[in-house]
């Protein structure tokens, strides 16, 4: 299931609801992404990020996330998938993204969870804008994210 | 044809959406970027370096060589930074 929402979400409650067992599921893997107060290691004296605004492309975002979920389900035998991604303004420490995968065994759950977040970072149309005391700035894409996605041999 | 702009591309262009009717010789996404760049100084800044601008045609990622004949929605934006 894919959810794109402006509202904050409770990571613990979401994982608890996702984990509620069917008996067939032996493994649940989760990834939670949080808003940081600086991209990378904050140099001495550099201003912290006060907040971040997530912009997206309504329609294409959901479409891409559904594709990513379908791709994960085609590669691994998954009992369930949940991706929640927030949009709008949020402050450091708040959850921005949650990926949960459920499978019979741990390897499929762990690998598909890593795949989903790696793919999401390069294939879903979201853009981060940081607010700092020195003004706002758009966050630049990182080559390391492209490298992380490439290890899954993405073909799109 | 509807054209959408996101993130700093929108900031430069000055609007998030506009409707345009490019002439027939504007056949690809790359052609469209060159044609849009002539619409205003803001458009020119947004497309000053076409290599850093990403595109979606009818909500699918598309390269500069993608044809635009018959499409209804084209979007331009920076490389994505979600997650």
Please report the ipTM that was assigned to this predicted complex: 0.95
Note whether B78 contacts A: Cβ–Cβ < 8 A.
yes
Distance from CA of B5 to the nearest CA of A (A): 9
Asked if A134 contacts A143 with a C-beta cutoff of 8 angstroms, the reply is no
Please state whether the predicted TM-score (pTM) of the whole model is above 0.90. Answer: yes
- Partner residue facing B83 (CB), from A59, A120, A156: A120
CA distance A121 to A42: 22
Confidence band of A40 (pLDDT split at 50, 70, 90): low
Distance from CA of A22 to the nearest CA of B (A): 29
Instruction: Give the residue carrying structure tokens 């389900």.
Output: A73
If you count residue pairs, one on A and one on B, with CB atoms under 8 Å apart, how many are there?
A: 69
Q: In order of start, what are the domains of chain A with their CATH numbers?
A: 2-150 (3.90.1170.40)
Asked if A28 contacts A106 with a C-beta cutoff of 8 angstroms, the reply is no
Q: Do B82 and A126 touch (CB under 8 A)?
A: yes
Which residues pair with residue A15 across a beta bridge?
none
Q: Do A57 and B7 touch (CB under 8 A)?
A: no
- A126 chain-B contacts, CB cut-off 8 A: 80-83
Does residue A77 sit in helix, strand or coil? coil
Among chain B residues, the shortest Cα distance to A117 is held by B83
Asked if A97 contacts B82 with a C-beta cutoff of 8 angstroms, the reply is yes
Q: Do A126 and B6 touch (CB under 8 A)?
A: no
Give the residue with greater pLDDT, A141 vs A125: A125
Mean local confidence (pLDDT), A87-108: 97
CA distance A35 to B83: 10
Among chain B residues, the shortest Cα distance to A60 is held by B59
pLDDT in tens, A120-135: 999 999 999 999 888 9
- Partner residue facing B59 (CB), from A63, A97, A140: A63
CA distance A68 to A147: 17
Which residues pair with residue A84 across a beta bridge?
A3, A98
Q: In order of start, what are the domains of chain B with their CATH numbers?
A: 2-77 (3.10.20.30)
Asked if A127 contacts A54 with a C-beta cutoff of 8 angstroms, the reply is yes
Instruction: Give the residue carrying structure tokens 């990926």.
Output: A99
DSSP string, B33-76: HHHHTTS-HHHHHHTSSGGG-EEEETTEEE-TT-B-TT-SEEEE
List of chain B residues with pLDDT < 70 = none
């Amino acid at each position: 299931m894919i959810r794109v929402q402006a509202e904050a979400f409770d990571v613990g409650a979401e994982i608890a609801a996702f984990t509620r067992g069917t008996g067939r599921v032996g493994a649940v893997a989760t990834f939670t992404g949080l808003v940081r107060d600086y991209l990378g290691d904050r140099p001495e004296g550099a201003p912290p990020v006060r907040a971040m605004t997530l912009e997206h492309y309504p329609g294409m975002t959901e479409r891409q996330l559904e594709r990513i979920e379908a791709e994960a389900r085609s590669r691994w035998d998954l009992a369930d998938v949940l991706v929640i991604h927030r949009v709008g303004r949020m402050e450091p420490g708040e959850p921005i993204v949650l990926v949960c995968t459920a499978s019979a065994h741990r390897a499929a759950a762990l690998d598909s969870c890593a795949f989903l977040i790696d793919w999401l970072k390069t294939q879903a149309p979201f853009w981060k804008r940081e607010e700092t005391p020195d003004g706002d700035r758009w966050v630049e894409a990182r080559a390391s994210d492209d490298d992380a996605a490439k290890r899954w041999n993405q073909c799109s | 044809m509807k054209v959408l702009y996101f993130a700093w591309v929108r900031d430069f262009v000055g609007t998030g959406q506009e409707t345009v009717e490019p002439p027939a010789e504007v056949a690809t996404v790359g052609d469209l970027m060159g044609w849009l760049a002539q619409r205003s100084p803001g458009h020119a800044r947004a497309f000053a370096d076409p290599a850093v601008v990403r595109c979606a045609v009818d909500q699918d990622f598309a390269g500069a060589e993608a044809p635009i004949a018959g499409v209804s929605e084209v979007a331009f934006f920076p490389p994505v930074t979600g997650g």
